[in-house]
Structure 1
Amino acid sequence: MPTDTPAANGYVFKQLKRLGLSDALALQTAPMVKVQAFDAGKRLWTKGNEIKHWMFIIQGLVSASVPTTNSESTPISVYGRGAWFGEQSIINRKPSFADYVCLTATEVLTLPAAQFDQLFVTEPNFARFVAKLMAWRVQKTSETLTLMKLGNPCMRVVMGLAQFAEALAYRSDRPPTIGFGEGVEIPIAQNTLASLCGVSRTLFSEYVQQLAQHGWLKLSYGKLEILSIHTWHAFARSQREDSVNNLNASIQELLELLRTLDAA
């Protein structure tokens, strides 16, 4: 999407308006917003690096992962189409707390950090939007990190898939409420998904097969589709909100929980 076309200019203006900017300020800010495209696997930011832009996903998927001691990483957030990300480090003036990597070919809008700071200080509606976004994300990130770091392999696989269900089927800038359909395909190879969940390809396949047998996933020609999106969302929410969740639940227990949530 070249930035100098009327269509691109209109798209940028529309996204800025959604942040609470007035027509005049959105028009003034739009020339500072650039479009960039990245290949799958591109590392946007490394933990400890300065974040120089706030980013918005036009299309694609980006994961935020925290490196662990065994040279692997734990995914704490997956951002999909329509998500802004990177605000926490810009506001706190601290380096990136995670590695941000494109999981697929990704196209983004970038707003310079200096312009973000100015809008945050001078525009109440913009500051309100960002504050609500951060409040939800900080809680979500903390709870997800606990589940993904301390949960057993089975929990990490099911919770990892639930994160993709959220990122692909809902807007990523607020708690999800309304689904856009009953199924959504994850456009990522299963060996990559296994790595993101911190389990072996063999274990990942074992759990995925059982989820598919019970109707929660659809497998075909190497593709993985998440079914009953609303139930996966309910699962993710219940795990984050439940202070006494079982981090060592078996696949049978998690399947039963999915059935219970689906019937609720």
Structure 2
Amino acid sequence: MNPPKSQSQPLLRDVLRQSIWAKGLTPEQMARVEAETVEAFVPKGGYVCRKGEPVDAWMGIIEGLAKMTNLSPEGKSITFTGMQAGAWFGEGSLLKKEPRKYDVTALRDSRIARMPASTFQWLLDTSLPFTHFLLMQLNERLGQFIGMVEFDRLLDVDSRVARCLAAMFNSHLYPGANPLLQISQEEIGYLSGASRQRVNQALQVLEKEGLLRVDYGGIHILDLDGLRRFQA
């Protein structure tokens, strides 16, 4: 059961209409999307989707924060990316018609939009702007994952935390991100593979560099390009 929504929470219909991919849809296409897309609630720590399950929907985050992970052959948890409100994911598995290759878990209580696979495929067949959006989405995701390999293998913790925060501001994957990033140090730790205490130290370093300011309720990003380039 979905928890009741307060007046301040965005409606699913409004989130759909404000999505980048919706801007090129016809009124008829938008009407079908609104009629067939549903909302699900996932509590903190719960699975948004699981590795190996059939992929029956394209998913978007209405509210909340989630991480995409997998296990290495040695049993180590590998985080591919964090995803905040506005992110849509799962198009690769839908296009390849294969079981899901990763887990997505909620780092806080999250509201998830689920567009049925049949609706997704219909948009792909009938909307050229939607197809163009997906090409950009796949290209941005590829670039993000290539960066994550470098970030995991080559960078120290301070730099990993900087890149982790900067990655949350990809204008295509996460449109509408606010300079005040409402994320906890524990959540940053989950995404960057560091302890909360080590994240705290890294944030102090980045704050001294003038790249961010740790505020009550979140982290205020002051120099996004600086975060992207930072290397200790």
Shorter-chain TM range is 0.7 to 0.9
**1:14 aligned partner, one-letter code:** R
> Using a 3 Å threshold, how does the CA distance of structure 1 residues 212 and 224 change in structure 2: closer, same or farther?
farther
Equivalent residue number for residue 173 of structure 2: 172
What is the aligned counterpart of 2:191 among 196, 216, 219? 196
Asked if structure 2 preserves the Cα contact closer than 8 Å seen for 1:12 and 1:33, the reply is: no
Paired residue secondary structure (2:39) = strand
After superposition, the C-alpha distances for 1:14-54 in whole angstroms (9 at most, x for unaligned) are 25772532112221332111122222222112233322211
For the residues of structure 1 that align with 2:215 and 2:11, how far apart are their CA atoms?
Answer: 36
Equivalent residue number for residue 225 of structure 2: 231
Paired residue secondary structure (1:219) = strand
Asked if structure 2 preserves the Cα contact closer than 8 Å seen for 1:41 and 1:101, the reply is: yes
After superposition, the C-alpha distances for 1:182-217 in whole angstroms (9 at most, x for unaligned) are x413333x2342233122334333222222233333
Structure 2, gaps ≥5 residues long? 5-9
TM-score (norm 2): 0.79
Give the % identical residues. 22
Equivalent residue number for residue 212 of structure 1: 207
Using the TM superposition, name which of 23-32 and 190-199 deviates more.
190-199
What is the aligned counterpart of 2:137 among 133, 156, 160? 133
Q: Would you say 1:124 and 2:118 are equivalent positions? A: no
Higher fraction of helix: 1
> Using a 3 Å threshold, how does the CA distance of structure 1 residues 212 and 87 change in structure 2: closer, same or farther?
same
Equivalent residue number for residue 186 of structure 1: 182
Asked if structure 2 preserves the Cα contact closer than 8 Å seen for 1:72 and 1:198, the reply is: no
Q: Would you say 1:29 and 2:36 are equivalent positions? A: no
Structure 1, gaps ≥5 residues long? 239-252, 256-264
Would you say how many aligned residue pairs link Structure 1 and Structure 2? 225
Asked if structure 1 preserves the Cα contact closer than 8 Å seen for 2:22 and 2:130, the reply is: no
Asked if structure 1 preserves the Cα contact closer than 8 Å seen for 2:212 and 2:221, the reply is: yes
Paired residue secondary structure (1:132) = helix
